[in-house]
Structure 1
Amino acid sequence: MRYGEPAARQYADQFCELFHRLIPENQQMSPTIILGHAAEGRLEDLSRGHDTQSAVPPIGYFLYLAVQDDRVIGFLNLLVVERNYALIAYLGALPSTGSASWKMLQTAWHDHANTLKSPFALIFEIAPPVAESARSSAKARLFTEYSRLRGLATRKAPIDYIQPDMVHEETAGTTEQPADLYIASSPDALAAMSKQSYLRLVESIYFDVYVRTFRDLGEDYTRYISRLYEKLRARNEDIPSPSNSE
């Protein structure tokens, strides 16, 4: 079920408990922030606060809960950006629940398949990097296989990506860490992506998603994201474009 529906509100406390249980501490944001945005169904419209002049796209904010025997067994946090991409922010399910993650992905796809125009991208951050964690590797396989069944190709972005700090009370980098950024889209769209395309995508994730998610942190957080993006862009400006043969 989708949080925001009357029947789902009763599961808020169970979601918070499961979130803290399944998501590593250094990857957590406050689950109450997730619940607040999901109840609104969108991220508040804000100016970007940096030098890009492009319009800020509307963003739908969704939380899906898998419930079995009146117990929350899994969750999927999805952001749908009307610039033709969707970002999976969090996905977690109890190990004994089998296909709960798959079913939540199917439900989210069914809800938003007509929202995103072709070609669109499905994006997911995986931290720590896949090469460093069996858990991350399993999550990458899940997303890749699901995307394949939807006719999409998947590629790890060829950039040194940093997942920004998500601690609500401070911006000292306590949760900032390297991550893999995966993109699923049509094979032709992926083949056409240049290094500049990947950096523009990161720019949107940082400013359109992170800054608006943590809007209560104000200008200090916006400046932190700006510094982080400039550092990432400088480090990745000379990366080669990926081969079309992937």
Structure 2
Amino acid sequence: MDPSMSPINASTSSPPSQQSSLDAPPSTPISQQPIARRTRSKIRKTSAAERKRAARENESQEDRAARLAAQREMTKRRRATMTDEQKEEERMANQERVRRIRENETEEEREKRNLENRERRRQREEEEGIEERAARTEANTTSHRINYSAEAQRQARVRRRSLPLSNAVPHYLGAMDKECTNCKALFFSVVLRQPRLVVYTASTKGGGAGLYTFLTCLSWCFARKRMAHLSVVVVVSMPAI
């Protein structure tokens, strides 16, 4: 019997036309497939970042100073044509980018970044004059004050809106049913607290002070606890005078 006609060989062998079709390359090259295209783009971006990082590590001090000066000049010309909304969007995007970078960096990278920032600041102070430095300091101080004030106001608005209705503990005047720490004559109890409304009861104890002293201490307590942004309702219970 011919070995080529055995059952095992007959089941495993295939015609020459089928073998040639299996050995032939696919109709679509791998370089043109979507998954490979995305992978290739990621590799290209990673290699470009690595080349840029290597170039910056090997550049001289003069080249670095020239590059930073060119970047500052380009940024100045670009921001001169931007609107306030675009500047704000760019600032928020930069803050988010810096936050992500600092969350993922190691201790060595953080130390290296601090050293680079100090060196960049020293070079900039050497290049600018006394008048330019004073103008830059004043501009930075004003910008920081404006940005901090706006951010603080925004966070205060968010906190006021996010106060839950079930939050019945008076965070401003202390614990529940607590005496006034100023005159020891007022007795506060919280009744209701909503995001922009706080209702307290206040009463004198043991005879207490007079009406003028009572109201003066009451206004002092609320002013001291900075409750002006809330609508406060106080139910006063006093003995007859």
Q: Which has the larger radius of gyration?
A: 2
Question: Aligning the two structures, in what range does the TM-score lie when normalised by the shorter sequence?
Answer: under 0.3
TM-score (norm 2): 0.26
1 or 2, which has the higher strand percentage?
A: 1
Q: Which structure shows the bigger proportion of residues in helix conformation?
A: 2
Higher relative contact order (CA 8 A, sep 6+): 1
Please give the TM-score of this superposition, normalised by the length of structure 1: 0.26
